[in-house]
Amino acid sequence: MFEKAIISHFEYILKITVMKKIGIICFAMILFGAASVNAQGILDKIDRALDKADKAGKQADRAGKTSGKLGSFFGKKKVAEEEVAAEAQTTVNIIGVDFATLKSINEKAASTKGVVSSKMKFSSSGSTISLQHSGTTEDLLIALQKTNPTIFTEKNIEALEDGQISIKVKK
């Protein structure tokens, strides 16, 4: 009888252990199932956000194409024509200026009529400004004398060649 009691107690413990394991496995499946559902929800939100970004990009592309077509009706291609007309390049060599003065000269030169682009290089021994422009170097000098008469005065001009102007600022 004592053996029967031990065996039935052993079976009872075995059943409880198996039931606990089954319970833990069921709980884990429910927990991981909920986690995967949440992960899927997050992935769906990311997918929707990417779709919205794609739609916005496509809409911006269409708007750009439409505005380009409308711009061509109203003659908005003047900038491109000016760039095509700007075939000449002139280098302005400037001696005797500090960086602030060179920057001011470059800004005024860039805003001069006929100038498409300007690039500035500074050195204490001698600085340069490269200008893309339309017309000749002489035409450019005349226009620069109008926009910046204190620097491009005739007393400061050291040399004038095709594609090059040399200036020495006397203090």
Write down the domain spans for the chain. 1-76, 80-168
pLDDT on residue 90? 93
What is the C-alpha end-to-end distance of the chain, expressed in Å? 124
CATH architecture entry for 80-168: 2-Layer Sandwich (3.30)
pLDDT on residue 66? 75
- Answer whether 99's CB lies under 8 Å from 107's CB: no
pLDDT on residue 109? 92
- Answer whether 148's CB lies under 8 Å from 111's CB: no
pLDDT on residue 4? 67
Task: For the chain, give the DSSP string.
Answer: -HHHHHHHHHHHHHHHHHHHHHHHHHHHHHHHHHHHHHHHHHHHHHHHHHHHHHHHHHHHHHHHHHHHHHHHHTT--HHHHHHHH--EEEEEEEES--HHHHHHHHHHHHTSTTEEEEEEE--SS-EEEEEEESS-HHHHHHHHHHH-TTTS-TTTEEEEETTEEEEE---
- Answer whether 88's CB lies under 8 Å from 163's CB: yes
Q: What is the pLDDT along the chain (171 residues), one digit of tens a residue?
A: 666 666 676 677 777 888 888 889 988 888 777 777 666 777 788 888 888 888 888 888 887 777 766 666 666 554 544 444 557 899 999 999 999 999 999 999 999 988 999 999 998 889 999 999 988 999 999 999 999 999 998 899 999 999 999 999 886
What is the number of other CB atoms lying within 10 angstroms of the CB of residue 130?
14
Place of tokens 């990311």: 46
